[in-house]
A and B are shown apart, each in its own frame.
Chain A
């Protein structure tokens, strides 16, 4: 209708302004994409040069790919050790925090609890106060129970710190699920644990996966916590190892960059694979509240 009444000239300007908008959109999108990617490209390219090449040609891609930087970082820089440490602490942190969160979230969502409100607000407090509020006494507590100097010094507090968000996330997830299935199973005589383990938990798998990805990221990138509680060199996780490596070898930019690539590679690969889960988990607090 509109097309028949507009003159050819007017429709031309319409098309032109559409085109101009598209052009503007893509220009901006690409500029911001470059802002995000170019620094990462520099890290990658610097990690494959030697110090002299960086001094002469800081920007360009490496002329010779010096993979030996990675070998050196992995062996001499002890990044293999740090990498193992990260895996050793991250796996139990993710498993335990997701499992305990699912249990408690289910408990809060499905059962009429006397004093349930108090428990709820207690966990809500944990969502609002910063880690700093417990950081100092936790050091002495971990020392007194004998965790300091072991992997437990990172695993146990990380699980505890991950609980408030995990419980809220899982509680909301279980509240959204249809209750009929659980009720039917209960009438058939299934125990509470059976209902949870065989029916409700498998249904919650998408939520569990999102939470697991979120907790993995938190544990892998965790920095202040191991900085305080994992002071032994041989216990350092990757991120902390990277920081100390950098301050020890300030002049050795290629090795530091190789270390940075080693530290971010697992998380970037995970992110590219589970992109939707990452974004869901990270923005869960902001989008749904």
Chain B
């Protein structure tokens, strides 16, 4: 606080200072009020309504039938949900490891910076700023069974028999989507890792060099431990992103063929808005929320432990 008591405070001063406190608190709340109001009405309130909906059997119109925990019981025998969660898990594992490894690999080679770095950084980050729909259109085109770049390249190098409709084949559809996601995301990991490398104290590296560590050893034993914080952060972000992935899947395959690439976000959307099952859709959205919150919580704890 701005006012520091000097010696024994006279009662009058104390009274005015607490009046000042109150005035300042009121001012503070006036600053927060517009945001808080908007946020309470259009975020917090609907969040609780979601919980309420999850106890209903309701097609979105007409009478709402209260069914207790029925929607929650249904989760445990829902095979599409299991498949979707399995796909999310694959997505999280591969979609986290691949861009991180790519980012670290490039970081290891470039940590001291090279001429033209800014240009390359700009190019690598370019896919990150593109809309999911644009990314989906680009990659649908690459995977196009007839004209697609991938098949044309395969045919050109004599691997024509591998060529296929990559998104139409249940065996390859999920991987094809993942490649797209990794393409769109690795630049983000790269830029964050490079920013982390910039913060590292170069004296440490000097010392290791004098001790005779080679380039790889310097990266592995000096830089990588210093990057621990950045890597945890990226892992958490990709993890949460992997459970929430929607746009790329929705536009490229709609969760198909069949349910081969269904993930929980597309399944929730389908249930609520295409099958008009509001109650079960809300329940699925809460499953998603619970997973995301658990991941966020675990990550926050992990960070706290890392900072001790």
Enumerate chain A interface residues (CB-CB to B < 8 A): 21-22, 24-26, 28-29, 32-33, 35-37, 39-40, 42-43, 46, 54-55, 58-59, 100-101, 103-104, 106-108, 110-114, 116, 119, 122-123, 126, 128-130, 132-138, 140-141, 156-157, 159-161, 163-164, 167, 183, 186, 192, 196, 217, 220-221, 223-224, 228, 239-240, 242-243, 246, 253, 256-257, 260, 263-264, 267-268, 271-272, 275, 278-279, 282-283, 285-287, 289
Smallest beta-carbon distance B170→chain A, Å: 21
Q: Are A111 and B31 in contact, CB atoms less than 8 angstroms apart?
A: yes
Q: Which residue of A lies closest to B196 (CB)?
A: A287
Contact of B134 among A100, A161, A260 (CB under 8 A): A260
**Are B50 and A136 interface neighbours, CB within 8 A?**
yes
Q: Return the chain B residue nearest A33 by Cβ.
A: B123
9 A-B contact pairs sorted by A residue (CB < 8 Å): A113-B29, A137-B282, A140-B49, A192-B24, A217-B129, A242-B137, A286-B188, A286-B233, A286-B234
B128 at the A interface (CB under 8 A):
yes
- A289-B303 in contact (CB<8A): yes
In whole angstroms, how far apart are the Cα atoms of A27 and B49 in the complex? 54
Chain B 95-107 interface mask (CB, 8 Å, partner A; 1/0) = 0000000100010
Question: Are the C-beta atoms of B138 and A40 separated by less than 8 Å?
Answer: yes
Rounded to whole Å, the gap between the CB of B192 and the closest CB of chain A is: 5
Q: List the count of A-B residue pairs having beta carbons below 8 Å apart.
A: 258
Chain B CB count within 10 A is highest, among A29, A37, A111, A132, for A132
- The answer to whether the Cβ of B72 comes within 8 Å of any Cβ in the partner chain is no
- With an 8 A cutoff between CB atoms, is B46 at the interface? yes
Give the distance in Å from the alpha carbon of A193 to the alpha carbon of B297 in the complex.
37
Q: A39-B138, A137-B49, A163-B35 are in contact. Are A29 and B110 (CB under 8 A)?
A: yes
Tell whether, in the assembled complex, residue A242 and residue B133 are in contact, meaning their CB atoms are under 8 Å apart. Answer: yes
Contact indicator B114/A36 (Cβ below 8 Å): no
Pairwise interchain contact A156-B268, C-beta atoms closer than 8 A: no
Chain B residues, CB < 8 A from A240: 133
- Say whether B43 faces chain A, with CB atoms less than 8 Å apart: yes
Q: List chain B positions with a Cβ less than 8 A from chain A.
A: 1-2, 21, 24-25, 27-32, 34-36, 38-39, 41-47, 49-50, 52-53, 102, 106, 109-110, 114, 116, 120-134, 137-139, 141-142, 146-149, 152, 183, 187-188, 191-192, 195-196, 215, 230, 233-234, 237, 243-244, 246-247, 250-251, 265, 268-269, 272-273, 278, 281-282, 285-286, 288-289, 292-293, 296, 303
Q: Which of A101, A119, A286 is the most central at the interface, judged by chain B CB atoms within 10 Å of its CB?
A: A286
For the complex, what is the distance from the CA of A120 to the CA of B49, rounded to whole Å? 22
Complex interface: chain B residues within 8 A of A138 (CB): 42, 46
Determine the distance from Cα of A198 to Cα of B146 in the docked complex, in whole angstroms. 62
Is there an interface contact between B39 and A163, defined as CB atoms closer than 8 Å?
yes
The DSSP consensus for interface residues of chain B is helix
Chain A residues within an 8 Å CB radius of B293: 128-129
Out of A24, A28, A33, A126, which one reaches B43, CB within 8 Å? A126
Contact A224 B134, beta carbon cutoff 8 Å: no
Q: Is the CB of B141 within 8 A of A257?
A: yes
The one of A24, A103, A183 that contacts B32, using a Cβ cutoff of 8 Å: A103
- A159 in contact with B120 (CB, 8 Å): no
Q: How far is the CA of A8 from the CA of B281 in the complex (A)?
A: 74
User: Closest residue of chain B to A57, judged by CB?
Assistant: B147
